[in-house]
A and B are shown apart, each in its own frame.
Chain A
Amino acid sequence: MISEEQQDQAALYALGLLGADEDAAFESELRANAELRDLVRELREAAGNLAITAPLQLPPASLKQRIMREIAVETERVVPMPTRHATFGWVPWAMAAALAVFCGLLAFDRVHLKRQLADIRAADPLMQTTFFTLAPSTPAPADAKATVAWQPGRQSGVIRISNLPVPQPGKDYQLWAVDAEHKDPISAGIVRVDKNGVAQVRFKPVEKAEHVKAFAISLEREGGVPKKEGPILLVGTT
């Protein structure tokens, strides 16, 4: 049970109105009270929604360019610079040229293969398969992963999961298809992993999913739920 005073504090905290001391005291209370944490999360979501009531104004396109340049520069900064050797200064250039030629050949090969694959797919719609790579999201283990092979023509797919621990009793993993035409994710059934954290199962979403943008796995009540409730553990697009 959350007292009225705690609700007051939670509302002020969600709006960022508590002072530093009050913040610290309230956060220590939050750590010990799951119900209060849930309330804060929901109030924070409600408050966050106020942002979209501001009259919409768009930033200039140049701002995005500026930001993209910044992150590109920052990314370059963390790439270690090669050391220079005066005597064989031409060697790196020759290697780069050879690599460029090799990459060109690979690119040509890739384009050629893609064309062949497209021809095969065009010949038989049931052959169309899209692959999705699902990456872990907190609180899943960092090495958990999954791959989905999805055939829209058949409205079915196969998922392979690895490194996902067996859920605690009373819980199940549930697979969801995120479809552009549906507001909520479509259930694609329960997925049970073995003691090694591995599963490979064929699935079929409960509703037609013609524009799947992503697949996700959440932790739900045992037996599954019609609408996602629990945390997302793995999610990924093509």
Chain B
Amino acid sequence: MAETSTAQQMLDQEMIARIGRRDQGAFSALYDRLSGPLYSLAMKMLGDPAEAQDALQEVFLQIWSRAGTYDPEQSSVFSWTVLLTRSRVIDRLRARGRRSRVVVASTEDAPTAADASTVESAADTAEKNDEAARVRYVLNNLPSEQREAIELAFFEHLSHHEIAARLGQPLGTVKARIRRGLLKLRQRLNTL
């Protein structure tokens, strides 16, 4: 598991258990740990700070109210909160009546000047965070067509049918790219 070491996962689980017992201190600590990556995800998908903040607020209120239902057998705390975030963001995208027009930056793209001046770039983050660097490295080393299919699915929430239409590829090809890419991602994150 890349984002979180086993030790960190244990601490996350402990925090979730305490949140389930209405511990506001644990909630505050979990917010400090996860709000950055979850907000970044919401921003990448929505491209609008006000909407991303509203989505993040909904996510953390859900964490507060649903901590007792978290099941460590299903996913790590981090992945659970990513799922919650994507779900809230997708609801917003649907409510907008359009797909996100935010362009998913290819992992090959260097951060633009605007990126560098306004946000911490992915490269900067990678320097500070071994795990982020590792995920980025693995992602960058996937075949580009697999990476593209996965990113369109994950960040733009395009269905496999929509991805096939956008890329002009048969549906079966797109499914195979997503499957192969995700399996490679899993295998390489586990072995690196």
Residues of A in contact with B (beta carbons under 8 Å apart): 4, 7-8, 10-12, 14-17, 41-60, 63-64, 66-68, 70-72, 74-75, 135-139, 176, 178-179, 182-185, 213-214, 216, 227-228, 231-232, 235-237
Contacts and interface: CB of A to CB of B under 8 A. Distances in A.
A19 B75 CA distance: 21
Interface in B156-192: 157, 159-160, 175-176, 178-179, 182-183, 185-186, 189-190
Contacts of A216: 10, 14
A7 B184 CA distance: 12
B76 interface: yes
Contacts of B13: 137, 232, 235
Contact of B10 (A15, A63, A178, A227): A178
Contacts of B186: 42-43, 45-46
A55 B44 contact: yes
B61 A67 contact: yes
Given A54-B37, A56-B125, A183 B5 contact: yes
A49 B105 contact: no
A55 B103 CA distance: 13
Contacts of A235: 10, 13-14, 17
Nearest to B59: A67
Interface string B84-118: 01110010000000000000010100010001000
A7 B182 CA distance: 10
Given A57-B119, A66-B57, A75 B75 contact: no
A237 B179 CA distance: 39
A216 B37 CA distance: 26
Output the residue of A41, A53, A137, A235 with the most chain B CB within 10 A: A53
- Most-contacted residue by chain B among A50, A63, A137 (CB, 10 A): A50
A68 B28 contact: yes
A136 B72 CA distance: 12
Contacts of B136: 53
A229 to B, nearest CB: 9
B120 to A, nearest CB: 4
21 contacts: A8-B179, A11-B178, A11-B182, A16-B90, A17-B153, A49-B135, A50-B135, A50-B155, A53-B122, A53-B132, A54-B122, A55-B120, A56-B125, A64-B32, A74-B64, A75-B22, A75-B24, A178-B10, A182-B7, A214-B10, A216-B10
Nearest to B56: A59
Nearest to A70: B61
Interface in B1-41: 1-3, 5-7, 10-11, 13-14, 17-18, 21-22, 24, 27-28, 31-32, 35-41
Given A137-B72, A183-B5, A53 B107 contact: yes
A206 B1 CA distance: 24
Contact of B36 (A58, A138, A213): A58
Given A59-B53, A184-B6, A71 B24 contact: yes
Contact of A67 (B7, B17, B60, B86): B60
Contacts of A236: 14
B78 A55 contact: no
A71 B61 contact: yes
B10 A51 contact: no
B7 A71 contact: no
A112 to B, nearest CB: 24
Contacts of A72: 24
Contacts of B160: 12, 17
Q: Which 4 A-B residue pairs are closest in the complex by CB-CB distance?
A: A48-B79, A46-B186, A54-B44, A54-B40
Given A68-B24, A235-B14, A56 B119 contact: yes
Given A75-B22, A232-B10, A14 B125 contact: no
A227 B6 CA distance: 9
Contacts of B72: 137-138, 231-232
